[in-house]
Amino acid sequence: MRLSLRFVIPLMLVLAAFAYAVVPLVDKLTLSWFIRDLDSRSTLIANTIQEPLEDRLAAGSRANVIAFFAKITQDERLYAIAYCASPNSRPLASRFLPKIIRCDDLDRWEKPGENLLSGDNGLLHVTVRSMGSEAAPDGRLVLVHDMSFVERRSEETKRYLFYFFVGLAAVVSLITVIIAQLSWRGWVQGMRALLRGEGLLRQPELPVKANAPEFRPIARDLQRLMRELESEVLSRDESQLHWTPETLRAILHGELHGEDIIVVSNREPYIHVRHGEQIEVQRPASGLVTALEPIMRACSGTWIAHGSGSADREAVDRHDHVAVPPDKPAYNIRRIWLTPEEEAGYYSGFANEGLWPLCHIAHVRPTFRSSDWAHYVAVNRKFAKAVASEAKTRAPIVLVQDYHFALLPRMIREELPEATVITFWHIPWPNPESFAICPWREEILAGLLGSSILGFHTQFHCNNFVDTVDRFIEARVDRAALTVSLGGKLTAVRRYPISIAWPPEPELLVKDVESCRAQVRARSGLPPEQLIGIGVDRLDYTKGIIERFRAVERLLELKPEWVGRFTFVQIAAPTRASIDEYRNHEAQVIALAAQINARFGPGHAPAIVLKVEHHEAREVYEYYRAAELCFVSSLHDGMNLVTKEFIAARDDNRGVLILSQFTGAAGELPEALIVNPYDADQCAAALHLALTMPQAEQRDRMRLMRGLVREFNVYRWAGRMLLDAATMRQRGRLTEKPGVPAA
């Protein structure tokens, strides 16, 4: 509106100035027309009355002539009429002849432009016409017209002109305002469309706005500008952002417009377990859960997972939902129920007897059965249907977790073509030769390539995946951009090193280090001054627990001064107990611990304390805080979050981390004592070094490691994926294929 006024007011002023100049011109013009009319009229009257006047003059009756004139001047415009026989005569005139008109001075009224005079009621027009006769050769007729009607008409004309200009101004203004509004709106829309990035590339189907020819010249520049801004924002995010739950929420609401988040994993973050009359809520021992739970607390949304707890069905509503965390609900778990056959085939069989050993170099043979594969396909389909039913929009962001769901990304895309599917593979990806063992390798690769983004912990695993795709399926691989295109659908393969929440939940650090030291030793039956090392794992053969115990044994062999003074405490959460390999492994671990304890014998504090049971995070943190060292000896591990938890627990800057070179974490934490778990001597030396490391060195190493985990925390892990998803969606919009990264 303000904009329209800016147009209209100057327009009005121009029109007023125009009217001011034009009206007097029109007035002058019409006056001259009237004068010309009156001249013609006078000639006509003169011609008309000539004969009757001559007759009356010839009759010599002045009275008769004056009466004749009186009759003629009844015409309202003819004000007066007179006849001069000669310049010296007295005029024979009608009643109102102005005195100024005299027979001896008639010539003056014949000069053009000077035949007007002012009468009582306004202007008078004087015309003189010769009317000679034999008796009076110099006779002249004088006609005086009343011009007041001209003035009246002039006033009327001015009034009409005024109305005309006002009307004209109104119409022109109205048209101007409408045109201005329409074109401004169109321009603004077009500009907005450009700024949103629409129409910058190929969009022939777009209506007017962004494709309008006037925008084309600036479209390219804007596109470049947007890219520059985007990369600037991203690089700033990388280096300067302080990653917190708020950062994550801001990304979700700002960059992703508060889009719906759905997480899919096999393991659920809270398990309801029945103990007699009581229902207990447990947090499973899972790196995946440790990482994703704080993300879901920050972002809300729905977490779809297998309902595996004995009291899970009792805890859900009629939609199979339960709000968690129980004390302060922030998101929903949607539980999926599996039959014992499905669980055996999909989880124990294909995922954990097939893919797990396939992807880990732990020298356990993978077992692939077609019946397991059939369950794996069916359960993936079941979860895809659940994603579709939980999605509140057509384009949700779906975070698919791990090797249990290799087929799910493609199935989700079939259900929700506009979804952005971010898949994270929490375990290593093997080289192509190893992966070739899998009989359904093509199906698995095609399933994963339904993802918009596919994430691994390390670049090495990204490269292995791309090499595998290149080897086994007909897909276009761009190694520079690390993208794979299958059937026109592009997947970005990216490295996102996973981490933990920073700072850790305050309740985990609430007990001071001295109390933790005392209580842990008392609980384990160890003397207060005992030096202890800690290991926290699921009882999985990939974790290198056997190798760890062998290293402790070797230490005590090589450095007997530690016998009775040093104890290694191993917390081992039971896992995948239905699989033979795991049961055997558990038995081996228990036997080896007993054997070593027996060897370094009675009368001393034990060399190894093995606790095969589930521990809640609060208890685990007490052990971390109580120990001199933490030993992570995985034979192969995607990342290993125990490593980062130990660092987070040591706010006293004490404690030494011994870390297997075969974990993803080893690439990030050179301040740890990096070891080869297969080399017992080297590991024993590392244990000795850790136990004798000066406090100042412990502090320096721990500070550096804490700085890294603080900066590269789990909010950054998820934030980077969400930012990449946002960029991808933006590019998808540009190419009119939401959720699909632009080529």
Using the minimum distance from each CB to ligand F6P, give the nearer residue, 638 or 739.
638
Q: Which H/E stretch holds residue 658?
A: strand 656-660
By CB under 6 A, residue 575 contacts ligand F6P: yes
Interface region with ligand F6P, contact rule CB under 6 A, candidates 49-57, 280-288, 430-438, 726-734: 280-288
Interface region with ligand F6P, contact rule CB under 6 A, candidates 270-278, 285-293, 549-557, 732-740: 285-293
CB 320 within 8 A of CB 334: yes
By CB under 6 A, residue 663 contacts ligand F6P: no
CA dist 361 and 356 (Å) reads 9
By CB under 6 A, residue 286 contacts ligand F6P: yes
Least distance CB 390 / ligand F6P (angstroms)? 21
By CB under 6 A, residue 210 contacts ligand F6P: no
Least distance CB 581 / ligand F6P (angstroms)? 13
By CB under 6 A, residue 585 contacts ligand F6P: no
Q: Phi and psi (nearest 5°) for 607?
A: -70, -35
Q: How many residues bind ligand F6P (CB under 6 A)?
A: 11
CB 143 within 8 A of CB 73: no
Q: Quickly list DSSP for 446-510.
A: HHHTT-SEEEESSHHHHHHHHHHHHHHS--EEETTTTEEEETTEEEEEEE------SSPPGGGS-
By CB under 6 A, residue 576 contacts ligand F6P: yes
Interface region with ligand F6P, contact rule CB under 6 A, candidates 45-53, 286-294, 512-520, 562-570: 286-294
By CB under 6 A, residue 335 contacts ligand F6P: no
Residue 305 corresponds to which tokens in the numbers above? 């997972």
By CB under 6 A, residue 427 contacts ligand F6P: yes
**Beta-carbon count within 10 A of 695 CB:** 9
Residue from 56, 297, 335, 426 in contact with ligand F6P (CB under 6 A): 426
CA dist 188 and 195 (Å) reads 10
Q: Which residues touch 619 (CB under 8 Å, ≥6 apart)? A: none
By CB under 6 A, residue 461 contacts ligand F6P: no
By CB under 6 A, residue 634 contacts ligand F6P: no
Least distance CB 285 / ligand F6P (angstroms)? 7
Using the minimum distance from each CB to ligand F6P, give the nearer residue, 56 or 426.
426
Q: Which residue is nearest to ligand F6P (CB)?
A: 288
What is the longest distance spanned by two Cα atoms in the chain?
Answer: 176
CA dist 557 and 198 (Å) reads 71
Least distance CB 691 / ligand F6P (angstroms)? 29
CA dist 683 and 676 (Å) reads 7
Residue from 145, 267, 489, 636 in contact with ligand F6P (CB under 6 A): 267
CB 631 within 8 A of CB 534: yes
Least distance CB 457 / ligand F6P (angstroms)? 10
By CB under 6 A, residue 349 contacts ligand F6P: no
By CB under 6 A, residue 288 contacts ligand F6P: yes
Least distance CB 356 / ligand F6P (angstroms)? 8
CA dist 122 and 116 (Å) reads 10
Using the minimum distance from each CB to ligand F6P, give the nearer residue, 145 or 426.
426
Using the minimum distance from each CB to ligand F6P, give the nearer residue, 372 or 628.
372
By CB under 6 A, residue 644 contacts ligand F6P: no
**Beta-carbon count within 10 A of 117 CB:** 15
For helices 62-72 and 2-59, give the axis angle rounded to 10 degrees.
160
CA dist 538 and 189 (Å) reads 58
Q: Phi and psi (nearest 5°) for 295?
A: -65, -45
Least distance CB 424 / ligand F6P (angstroms)? 9
Interface region with ligand F6P, contact rule CB under 6 A, candidates 130-138, 150-158, 282-290, 686-694: 282-290
Query: Site residues (CB under 6 A) for ligand F6P?
Result: 266-267, 286-288, 402, 426-427, 575-576, 638
